[in-house]
Amino acid sequence: MSGPAVELRNVSKRFGAGARLVLDRVSFRVEPGETLVLLGSSGAGKTTALRCINRLVEPDEGEVEVEGREIRSWDPIRLRRRTGYVIQDVGLLPHLSVAENVELVPKLEGWSPERRSERMRELLAFVGLEPSRFARKKPRELSGGERQRVGVARALAVDPPLLLMDEPFGALDAVNRRRMQDEFVGMKQKLRKTIVIVTHDVPEAMKLGDRIGVMHGGRLLQIGSSVEILAQPADDFVADLLRLESAPT
Amino acid sequence: METLRFFLERRADIATQTAEHVFLVAVSVGIAVAIGVPLGILLTRRPSLATPVIGFANVTQTIPSLALFGFLIPIPLIGGIGNTTAIVALVLYALLPLLRNTYAGIQSVEPSVVEAGRGMGMTDLERLRLIEIPLSLPTILAGVRIATVNAIGLATIAAAVGAGGLGNSILRGLSMVDSRLILAGAVPAAALALVADGLLGRFERWLAWDR
């Protein structure tokens, strides 16, 4: 595939007339196979930017392209089924088992039961959950970390080329978060997918991102590799953010 | 002892009236479910309608039941003397718990779960079928249970507009000042309410996904 996997051009969004801009002319590209991290404190607009990519949010101005196609020409349902989406609260369906949760999208896509079940086992093993032990459990029987793993497995179910993750490890305690991050770096190398991650955690951004986009007040202040951003912060805000947040963890 | 013998003597009547009673309640709760559940779901999609519609259902609850039966008699098609009037009134009463519980049940589904469903590319209908309805089913069923138990009690008054059911024994007992006759209607009606409550309660617990 040539060209960027995702591109935002001058995207602006406000929720309600007269409200402040949640996104203010945000532009960035994500290359195929790359992991971009959107970093910023809460209210920076990073989640809104992410949600523009799977049309959970419609921009007021600007263009969004996925795989070179303007987003409005995508059927939102098709687009979302080709896009893995992981959120902080995970949002596993509490009345379904782990297996049923992971098999949900394949089922909607009309996969045969054998194929679904094979895929489910493969994915649970991939995210480090023994299928025979976990498949029949209900979400409430899982720990926070296990739930998050199931969330990742579910997002990967139909092998989407694009993965969007909103504070994926935000609900975990520090120890589990580090462990999931380390594992995720390994997963990412095996998956070779285009990934966009939203986080407020600077070390997490450094660890996971090929490039980092720093956002504040709806604007994208700087985008580049962690080395570039650390060496040459675009302005005082970026410098402060890195200094304040990266020191102690 | 004497009352018991009286009941035994009248067992054929009691059985017929109980059957009529069950019929009245089943038909009216059935119709109320068919209207109230879809309407409750619709209200979650059009929240601006929720206040007026639930308000209307609330108001019908405040009308004294005997008066409501009376009001309905002169209305053509749905009114008159007999089962139809009774069923219309019972449906109106059953509507509120069903509407309210359906609406509240769906509103209380964890937003992150609905959001995840949207993010996964579920259509509105798939979300309703796979997430919102299954998760709110225990609450909806609690509404059915309240509506049913209420209807069993209210249906005894339906005899006043010429409908069948256990109310006929009570009504006749009242006019003849015969307490045994009143009991021949009241005791089976109370038993019916208890049985319905127990069965539906058990079904509700069986359906609960978080048990």
pLDDT tens per residue across span A41-94: 888 999 999 999 999 999 999 999 999 999 999 999 999 999 999 998 888 999
CB contact under 8 A, A94 and B110: yes
What whole-number distance in Å separates Cα of residue B33 and Cα of residue B106?
15
> How far is residue A26's CA from residue A10's CA, in Å, rounded to a whole number?
5
B209 interaction partners in chain A (CB closer than 8 Å)? 94-95
Cross-chain residue pair B121–A81, CB shorter than 8 Å = yes
Report whether A72 contacts A7 (CB < 8 A).
no
Contact A225, A198 (CB under 8 A): no
Interface of A with B (CB under 8 A): 54, 56, 76-83, 85, 87, 89-95, 104-105, 108, 140, 154, 164
Q: Is B128 on the interface with A (CB under 8 A)?
A: no
Lowest mean pLDDT among A48-57, A171-180, A201-210: A171-180
The pairing of strands A21-30 and A35-39 is unpaired
Is the predicted pLDDT of residue A248 greater than 80, yes or no? Answer: no
Of the listed ranges A8-12, A96-100, B110-114, B196-200, the one predicted with least confidence:
B110-114
Q: Measured between beta carbons, which residues in chain A are less than 8 angstroms from residue B114?
A: 91
Query: Which residues neighbour B103 within 8 Å (Cβ) at sequence distance 6 or greater?
Result: B40, B43, B44, B50, B54
Cβ <8 Å between A85 and B120: yes
Burial code of A131-165, b = ≥16 C-beta within 10 A, e = fewer? beebbeebbeebeebbbbbbbbbbbbbbebbbbbb
Residue from A77, A140, A167 to probe the interface with B (highest B Cβ count within 10 Å): A77
- Report pLDDT for A245: 59
Q: What percent of chain B clears pLDDT 70, i.e. is strictly above it?
A: 99
> Looking at CA atoms only, how far is residue A236 from chain B in angstroms?
36
Q: Give dist(CA B107, CA A105) in Å, integer.
A: 24
Count of residues making up chain A? 249
Work out the minimum CA distance from A116 to partner chain B, whole angstroms. 16
Q: Is the pLDDT of residue A136 over 90?
A: yes
Confidence of residue A174 (pLDDT cuts 50, 70, 90): confident
Distance CA A94, CA A91 (A): 8
Residue-level pLDDT at B39: 95
CB atoms within 10 A of CB A176: 16
Q: What is the pLDDT of residues B92-111, one digit of tens each?
A: 999 999 999 999 999 999 98
Stretch 81-110 of chain B: residues touching chain A, C-beta under 8 Å: 110
Average of per-residue pLDDT across B43-64: 89
Q: What is the mean pLDDT of residues A17-25?
A: 87
- Identify the pLDDT of residue B3: 82
Which single residue is written with the structure tokens 């025979």? A132
Q: What is the pTM (predicted TM-score) of this model? A: 0.83
In DSSP notation, B27-66 reads HHHHHHHHHHHHHHHHHHHSHHHHHHHHHHHHHHHHS-HH
Task: Using pLDDT thresholds of 50, 70 and 90, give the confidence band for residue A2.
Answer: low
- The confidence score (pLDDT) of residue B83 equals 86
Strands A194-199 and A211-216: unpaired
Interface test with B, best of A66, A87, A95 (most B CBs within 10 A): A95
> For residue B126, which residues of chain A lie inside 8 Å, CB to CB?
108
How does DSSP classify residue A137? -
- A84: closest chain B residue by CA: B120
Contacts of B112 in chain A (CB under 8 A): 87, 89-91
User: Tokens in use for B156?
Assistant: 């005894």
CB-based contact B113 A93, cutoff 8 Å: yes
Q: What pLDDT, on a 0 to 100 scale, did the predictor assign at position A33?
A: 92
Strands A61-66 and A69-70: antiparallel
Q: Determine whether the interchain pair A104/B119 forms a contact, defined as Cβ–Cβ distance below 8 Å.
A: no
A108, B115: Cβ pair inside 8 Å? no
User: Residue A30 forms beta bridges with which residues?
Assistant: A6
Q: List the structure tokens of A28.
A: 């960035």
Question: What topology does CATH give the domain A6-41+66-93+160-246?
Answer: Rossmann fold (3.40.50)
What are the boundaries of each domain within chain A?
Answer: 6-41+66-93+160-246
